[in-house]
Structure 1
Amino acid sequence: MSNEKSPFIVEGKLADNERLKAESKHLRGTIAEDLKDDLTGGFTADNFQLIRFHGMYQQDDRDIRAERAKQKLEPLHNVMLRARLPGGIITPSQWQEIDRFAQEHTLYGSIRLTTRQTFQFHGVLKPNIKLMHQTLNKVGIDSIATAGDVNRNVLCTSNPVESKLHLEAYEWAKKISEHLLPKTRAYAEIWLDGEKIESTDDTVEPILGDNYLPRKFKTTVVIPPQNDVDVHANDLNFVAIAEQGKLIGFNVLVGGGLAMTHGDTSTYPRKADDFGFISVNDTLAIAEAVVSTQRDWGNRVNRKNAKTKYTLERVGVDNFKAEVEKRAGVTFGPSRDYEFTSRGDRFGWVEGIDGKYHLTLYIENGRIIDKPGKPLKTGCLEIAKIHKGDFRLTANQNLIVAGVAGDDKARIEALARSHKLIEDDVSSQRLDSMACVSLPTCPLAMAEAERYLPESIERMESLLAKHDLSSDSIIFRITGCPNGCGRAMLSEVGLVGKGPGKYNLHIGGDREGTRIPRMYRENIGEDEIFAELDGLIERWAGEREAGEAFGDYVVRAGIVKPVVDSARDFYD
């Protein structure tokens, strides 16, 4: 961290996480010793938090927690691992190994595609954790810095029209990810039995600092006109600007984020600010400067206000931007014109300019598992066995079979259809809906999300059909708590969990993902939610302008005021 005392540093007693990081010996803690403790299935003391920097969260099955307590057993502790997969690209051989581990060594046997454009293992017991890391390492995958106070998995637009532009953008996503990784050898030492460095206390973290970042940090690379990574949900975004199909630079957007805390009006979702245009050669310098400015100026006293969005609000966007320019030695140019026209995935077959084909498969909730009549996991494995291209995981929890030669299309499609990975009767509403994992595994969950989504989509479909709008859809998202993993704060209709069966109902976002929805009703049950939506959709059907989306309608009709400046008007 810089020795220069800045007036923008928050003074006060540091949050306990700062002590934890300072004493961790650069993220080592006593994790290795904890692994040998077979008296508990969990991690103790600081290690419970430190394993997050290694890409894992300790969880338990909350559905059986009470029953185990009656039996005088501790909760069934296990970990969820989130892989580091910049741009979400994975090879068929990697997929086969991931499938095997999920089948043989997890409690649930599933692969979960996430809104962070990667995959997660759920339900890995302590004796299998080191095996998990070594299995991934064997195929060139790790989970370094996919959680904790670091820059996390870097997202990239999954399926643009121009394949060459995607390749350039994807390469920058990888470079950014590698450049911002922690330099500590803790991951290799603990999980891969790497050789221990003698002077471990002398590890230098030139970008992240010895105490790492004040809070989590998220980065994307996006290719207009698709906003499939939801740029306004992220701290740092590089919007690709191309001329004649070639990447020439990026508009840089800083300070987006969706998490908030119920009852705390000092927390709120926020859109990112456009700092301006940079040439492609300045990308890493700007990424490092934004991260280091947040490192030094972010709030280390109050973690609820530690994200980049709050730093910008506290110090001022102009001051933050000037500091980034100073550190990077780069001056932002005027923003180049671009437009987002959609953010959903383009399902079915799409031909790239290179003559290869990409097949986007809808995966409800991102959960890949075999169910009666829907052997999705087996289908993905069978495709992986013959596929010569790659897979792309999308930030909308779907799967793309990419780089398919024309001669291979029929065989790939046949496998997808026979395993119910393609179903022709999937509604537009289903494709435009999403939820976080929530119960039973997420310890932060207040209400159902993933398990409730199928039923809630059916109710939404029924309402649309009732009002003769079956060919339309609404961007609909559910998150089980206010932390934002399901990105409900960038939806047209968003449900934010408040308690068992209770949600805050937000409406008024737009389809492009550039407007935050406003809370319309607080802490209401499912029947009341859909009674409210019934009336709103009826009005939309009768009063909408040609082609007007639901979120735009409720704002134009004055049903809710648009959120313009969320730091000042989100709670109005």
Structure 2
Amino acid sequence: MAAMASASGVNAFLGFKPARLNAGRARARPSSVARRAARGPIVAVAVPSGKKTKEGPKRSKVEIIKENSDFLRHPLIAELATEASSISEDAAQLYKFHGGYQQDDREKRSFGAGKFYQFMMRTKQPAGTVPNKLYLVMDDLANTHGNGTLRLTTRQTYQLHGILKTDLKATFQAVIRNMGSTLGACGDINRNVMASPAPYAAAARPEYAIAQELAKDLGDLLAPQSGAYYDVWLDGEQLLTVEKPEVVECRNDNRFGTNFEGSPEPIYGTQFLPRKFKIGVTVPGDNHIDFLTNDIGICVVMKDGKHVGYNVYAGGGMGRSHRNNDTFPRMASPIGYVDKADIFYAVKAIACTQRDYGRRDDRKQSRLKYLIHSWGVEKFKSVTEQYMGKQFEPLADLPEFTVPTYHGWNDQGDGKMWYGVHVVNGRLRGDAKKALRAVIERYELPVRLTAQQDLLLTDIDPAWKADITTTLAAAGVVDASEIDPIDKLSMACPALPLCGLAITEAERGLPDVNKRLRETMTKVGLPKEEAFIVRMTGCPNGCARPYMAELGFVGDGPGSYQIWLGGESNLLTLARPFADKVKETNLETFFEPIFAEFKKTKTSGETLGAWANRVGFDAIRKAQETYEAAAAPVAAAPVAAAPAPAAPAPAPVAATGRLPRVMVERDAFEALQAYAEKHNTTLTEAATAAILRMTKGM
């Protein structure tokens, strides 16, 4: 089969001829190549125009692994059966599709022993919904098969860290058999479908239930179909899954040349997608999920209180690479409106367009955002419409968006309540984890995971409110009214020590950074109510979506961050790079002039991001250059945090510098880490408390 390259953009060939770019409502027909796709060899290639070589188009290594895997089975099945503590690179690539990553704990390496291998497992929770039974199982697995903690992700899922290879199968089996799934949580495939998680009753706020239901249906529509998942983890045992007839009908519909006829994977074929693919569904006025950062962003459209259809956006994505200007974050572009009966077909058409035309030679260029950037929105829409069999209509009008947190006590609208628990950077551990388990088990509560890494306890009888409040408070869970406004909307990725891409701290570093930002703001006279969205990642891949934040920290070296400014509080404006190589030790010196100028020149109600865009980066840099530091700091406003029981407060750190690093023996570090996790505090605070206790009598 010959590969094709588009004269005006990028073209991929997956065994069938893509639709021609005819105007109007042209409909593509399945070609004879499509009917042979399941039997013949697949040549999935893509090249940018003008870069042909004698050797012809090339594919990335991962494309070869996928093609030879028998739909994600081999060599993963064989590798899992070996006594080695790790799996091969080929198997690790396939493991992603099944829901996880092979990782190396850099802080547990022994001298001369090489990497300390373990595995991360990520679940799929459409709209963040977690049945009571699954929550209890995940909590148990964290203790018996993980590292004792549960992590809530920025895409409304769980991550379980620290699983040893010998425990992998048992861990997956426990999830699958208790109403959970991990299939497609990672890899070149549709990931977890997000949706605004507020558990309003359908009678009270129907748009939320509609969005959450669509998230589940789209997850089903784009789920792998070959059965490899059950072959790998359940040794071929099949579990019954329930899908809507409309979902099955859309998946199997090949009127417009979208499917591989006769293939175990009618939508994906042997090659699946060029890279990861993300979908988010929101409701009018609620941008809690950051919906324009997805490959497909969808907003429910209501008219006179009735659901009529959806606005569709495409081409969002956060990933980029330092010093590579061909990579960049991008917000999704408006594509158009579809009636509610057409949304499955619209999503399938967009996914198939990306499948057939997305780059497969260069993985850094293979996301949908680069295809739309290369083609332009109109060409992309034209091709997608042929796969859909209809044209998009103009977008429906929507109200202004805000970003709710869902913290605290709220009425569901059906006589019950929900309670939004703030979880610092999504890491559940120690006494807080035990207390949450206790109330969830006691009252058989279902749970929702939010896009801000928090937890919603749902379906609460008002009579239970006092007991739940008391139980959580006793474990150090901070009430919503006591959370610092900066902490409420800040996020960080896991980063060090487990993520192989991380080059500096994020999850472990952000709590201290937030405190220092607050102290600096207080020093220049900003009120304690002043807040903005802060996000931090340990590398430029953007898992915590820092490029939408009002203040984004992106790791660019050990203890060093690139600073992004200009995202706005409604998450509808892309931030821009402001400074490189800002050292963690110099944050006060760097930000004090900025916060002072913000206080001096902001208008009433203006947020940091809006202010930065109004005054411009040049003016902010000038303010940094000409700033004269305040003579003496003002006392910092109190910052709400879960205190470490029986531990004295850490010694104050000068605003102009940080404490030096100290090396400790491995057993001492592990004891310190265990203490910090048990008491839900940071390593810095735990170490400081221990030293003060030790030296108190000297």
Q: TM-score, normalised by structure 2?
A: 0.76
Q: 1:160 to 1:195 in 2, by over 3 A?
A: closer
Residue equivalent to 2:329: 269
Residue 539, structure 1, aligned to residue 597, structure 2:
yes
1:514-561 deviation line (CA, Å, top 9, x unaligned)? 111111111120233432221111111111111000011011112269
Pair 1:426 & 2:486 matched: no
| Partner Cα distance (2:491, 2:129) in 1 | 21
Is the CA contact 2:77–2:232 (under 8 Å) kept in the aligned structure 1?
yes
Q: Secondary structure at the match of 1:447?
A: coil
Which residue of the partner structure matches residue 167 of structure 2?
128
* Partner residue of 1:118 out of 157, 166, 171: 157
Structure 2 residue corresponding to 1:399, chosen from 452, 455, 458: 455
Q: Distance in 2 between matches of 1:415 and 1:282?
A: 47
Aligned match for 1:390, one of 417, 440, 446 = 446
Structure 1 position 346, deviation (Å): 2.3
Q: Give the secondary structure class of the aligned counterpart of 1:333.
A: coil
Question: Is structure 2 residue 506 aligned with structure 1 residue 449?
Answer: yes
Distance in 2, matches of 1:328 and 1:262, equals 37
What SS is found at the alignment partner of 2:571?
coil
Q: Which deviates more from structure 2 when the two are superposed, residues 344-353 or residues 259-268?
A: 344-353
> How far apart are the structure 1 equivalents of 2:125 and 2:356?
27
- Number of positions where the alignment pairs a residue of Structure 1 with one of Structure 2: 548
Distance 1:386-1:195 versus aligned 2 partners, 3 A rule: closer
Select the residue among 7, 10, 13 that pairs with 2:46: 10
Query: What is residue 20 of structure 1 aligned with on the other side?
Result: 65
The C-alpha deviation readout for 1:295-321, integer Å capped at 9, x for no partner, is 001001111110000000112211111
Residues 1:473 and 2:531 aligned together: yes
Q: Is the counterpart of residue 356 in structure 1 residue 356 in structure 2?
A: no
For residue 160 of structure 2, give the secondary structure of its aligned residue in structure 1.
strand
* Alpha-carbon offset, residue 327 of structure 1: 1.1
SS in 2 for 1:271: coil
Match in the other structure for 2:99: 55
Question: Within 2, Cα distance between the matches of 1:273 and 1:486?
Answer: 21
Distance 1:463 1:181, change over 3 A: same
Bigger mean CA offset, 428-437 vs 148-157: 428-437
> For residues 324 and 571 of structure 2, what CA distance do their matches in structure 1 show?
24
Asked if the contact 2:408/2:420 (under 8 Å) is kept, the reply is yes
CA deviations 1:132-186 (Å, max 9, x no partner) are 1110112110100010000000001011765432222111110000000111211
Q: Give how far 1:276 is off.
A: 1.3
Judge conservation of contact 1:115–1:395 (CA < 8 Å) in 2: yes
Partner residue in 2 for 1:73: 113
The answer to whether structure 1 residue 247 and structure 2 residue 304 are counterparts is no
- The CA deviation at 1:123 is 0.5
Q: Give the Cα separation in 2 of the matches to 1:180 and 1:250.
A: 18
1:83 aligns with 2:83: no
**2:158 counterpart letter in structure 1:** F
Instruction: Report if the CA contact (8 A) 2:300-2:307 is conserved.
Output: yes
Amino acid of the structure 2 residue aligned with 1:253: Y
User: Which residue in 2 is equivalent to 1:176?
Assistant: 218
Give the aligned partner of residue 36 of structure 1: 81
One-letter amino acid matched to 1:211 = Q
- Residue 552 (structure 1) aligned with residue 610 (structure 2): yes
Verify the 8 A CA contact 2:321 2:540 in the aligned structure 1.
Answer: yes
State the match for 1:569 in structure 2.
none
CA distance in 1, matches of 2:281, 2:619: 31
Aligned partner (choices 583, 586, 591) of residue 525 of structure 1: 583
CA shift for structure 1 position 422: 3.1
Instruction: Specify the alignment match of 2:229 in structure 1.
Output: 187
The answer to whether the 8 Å contact 2:287/2:571 transfers is: yes
The range that moved more, 161-170 or 208-217, is 161-170
In structure 2, distance between residues paired with 1:468 and 1:273? 36
Question: How far does residue 465 in structure 1 lie from its aligned partner after superposition?
Answer: 1.6
**How far apart in 1 are the matches of 2:610 and 2:199?**
26
Shift of 1:388: 4.2
Aligned residue type for 2:606: E
Matches within 5 A, 1:129-278: 129-159=168-198, 162-195=204-237, 203-278=263-338
- 3-state DSSP of counterpart to 1:172: helix
Whole-angstrom CA distance in 2 between matches of 1:73 and 1:561: 52
Q: Tell me which amino acid in the other structure corresponds to 1:192.
A: L
1: CA distance between counterparts of 2:557 and 2:473? 39
1:192/1:561 CA distance change after superposition, 3 Å: farther
Q: 2:375: which partner in 1?
A: 315
Show CA shifts across 1:261-303 (max 9, x none): 1111000001101111111111111110000000001001111
Structure 2: how far apart are the matches of 1:482 and 1:7? 37
Tell me the SS of whatever aligns to 1:74.
coil
Distance 2:413 2:557 in 1: 49
Query: Would the alpha carbon gap of residues 469 and 170 (structure 1) be closer, same or farther in structure 2, given more than 3 Å must change?
Result: same
CA distance in 1, matches of 2:213, 2:374: 34
Query: Match of 1:514, as an amino acid?
Result: L
SS in 2 for 1:117: coil
Indicate yes or no: 2:470 matched with 1:414.
Answer: yes
Q: Mark the structure with the bigger radius of gyration.
A: 2
Q: Secondary structure at the match of 1:27?
A: coil
| Unaligned stretches of 5+ residues in structure 2 | 1-13, 22-44, 48-56, 239-261, 621-698
Deviation for aligned residue 1:340: 4.3
Q: Which residue in 2 is equivalent to 1:565? A: none
Q: Retained in 2: the 8 A contact 1:433–1:476?
A: yes
Q: Distance in 1 between matches of 2:399 and 2:435?
A: 37
What SS does the aligned partner of 2:321 have?
A: coil
Partner AA of 1:169 in structure 2: A
Q: Which residue of structure 2 aligns with residue 304 of structure 1?
A: 364
AA of the residue aligned to 1:437? P
Match of 1:19, as an amino acid? I
CA contact (8 A) 1:540 1:553 kept: yes
Letter of the 1:20 counterpart: I
d(CA) in 2 for partners of 1:513, 1:454 = 22
Q: For the Cα contact (< 8 Å) 2:330–2:369, is it kept in 1?
A: yes
Match of 1:567 in 2: none
Going from structure 1 to structure 2, the CA distance change for 1:322 and 1:114 (only over 3 Å counts) comes to same
For 1:175 and 1:459, the matched residues in 2 are separated by 44
Provide, for residues 477-535 of structure 1, a one-character-per-residue CA deviation record: whole Å limited to 9, x for no partner. Answer: 10000111011000011010011101101111101111111111111202334322211
2-structure distance, mates of 1:109, 1:156: 28
The residue aligned with 2:243 is none
Q: Structure 2: which amino acid aligns with 1:558?
A: G
Given that residues 131 and 179 in structure 2 are in contact (C-alpha distance below 8 angstroms), is that contact kept between their aligned partners in structure 1? no
Partners of 2:439 and 2:15 in 1: CA distance? 51
SS of alignment partner, residue 365 of structure 1: helix
Identical residues among aligned pairs (%): 32
Q: 1:55 to 1:210 in 2, by over 3 A?
A: same
